[in-house]
Chain A
Amino acid sequence: MASPIARKRANASSPPSTPPPGSSPEDVRTTASASTPPQHVSASPASPPPLQPQSSQIIQHHAQTPSDGKANILLVDDREDKRLAMETVIAELGQNIIQANSGREALRHLLNQTFAVILLDVNMPGMDGFETALLIRQRKSLENIPIIFVSAISDTETHVSRGYSLGAVDYILAPIVPEILRAKVAVFVELFKIADQVKRQAEDLRLAHSQLEKRVEERTQELARVNKSLQKEVKERQKAEENLRILNSKLEERVADRTAELRAANKELETFSYSIAHDLRAPFRQIHGYAEILEEDFADKLPAEARTYLSRIGAKSKEMEAMVDDLLRLFVVAKEPFDVAETNLRSLAQEVMANLRSEGSNAARSIQFTLTENLPATIRGNAGLMRQVLENLLSNAVKYTRPRKTAEIELGCEDGEAQDKQTTFYVRDNGVGFAMEQADRLFGVFQRLHRMEEFEGTGIGLALVSRIIAKHGGRVWARGEVGGGATFYFTLGKSGHDPE
Chain B
Amino acid sequence: MIQNKYAVLLADDSSDDRLFMRKALSRSTRLSMAAEVCDGQEAIEYLKGNPPFSNRDLHPWPDLLILDLKMPRKNGFDVLQWLKHQAEAGTLARPTLTVVIVSGAFLERDISQSLEMGAAGYFKKTSVRREQEDMVQELEKLMAEKAERKLSPES
Which residues of A pack against B, CB within 8 Å?
A: 274, 277-279, 281-282, 285-286, 288-290, 292-293, 296, 332
Contacts and interface: CB of A to CB of B under 8 A. Distances in A.
16 contacts: A277-B104, A277-B106, A278-B69, A278-B103, A278-B104, A278-B105, A279-B104, A281-B104, A282-B125, A286-B17, A286-B20, A290-B16, A292-B127, A292-B129, A293-B23, A296-B129
Given A277-B104, A277-B107, A282 B129 contact: no
Nearest to A285: B127
Contacts, number: 42
Label chain B's interface by main secondary structure: loop
Given A278-B70, A293-B23, A285 B126 contact: yes
B81 interface: no
A293 B16 CA distance: 12
A288 B128 contact: yes
Contact of B16 (A274, A278, A289): A289
B54 interface: no
Contacts of A278: 69-70, 103-105
Contacts of B14: 282, 286
Interface of B: 14, 16-17, 20, 23, 69-70, 103-108, 125-129
B105 A286 contact: no
Contacts of B125: 282, 285
Contact of A288 (B70, B103, B108, B127): B127
Interface pairs A-B: 8 shortest CB-CB: A289-B127, A277-B105, A288-B127, A286-B16, A278-B70, A278-B105, A285-B127, A282-B104
Contacts of A277: 104-107
A282 B14 CA distance: 9
Nearest to A317: B127
A277 B125 CA distance: 11
Nearest to A276: B105
B70 A279 contact: yes
A21 to B, nearest CB: 149
A332 B93 CA distance: 40
B104 A285 contact: yes
Contacts of B105: 274, 277-278, 281
Contacts of A274: 105, 107
Contacts of B16: 282, 286, 289-290
Given A281-B104, A289-B127, 9 more contacts: A274-B107, A278-B70, A278-B105, A279-B70, A281-B105, A282-B17, A282-B104, A286-B16, A286-B127
A498 B16 CA distance: 51
B42 to A, nearest CB: 19
Q: Taking each of B70, B127, B128, which has the highest tally of chain A beta carbons within 10 Å of its own beta carbon?
A: B127
B135 to A, nearest CB: 13
Contacts of B103: 278
Contacts of A290: 16
A292 B128 contact: yes
Nearest to A296: B129
Given A278-B104, A282-B14, A296-B129, A289 B70 contact: no
B124 to A, nearest CB: 9
A282 B12 CA distance: 13
Contacts of A289: 16, 20, 127
A274 B20 CA distance: 23
A278 B23 CA distance: 21
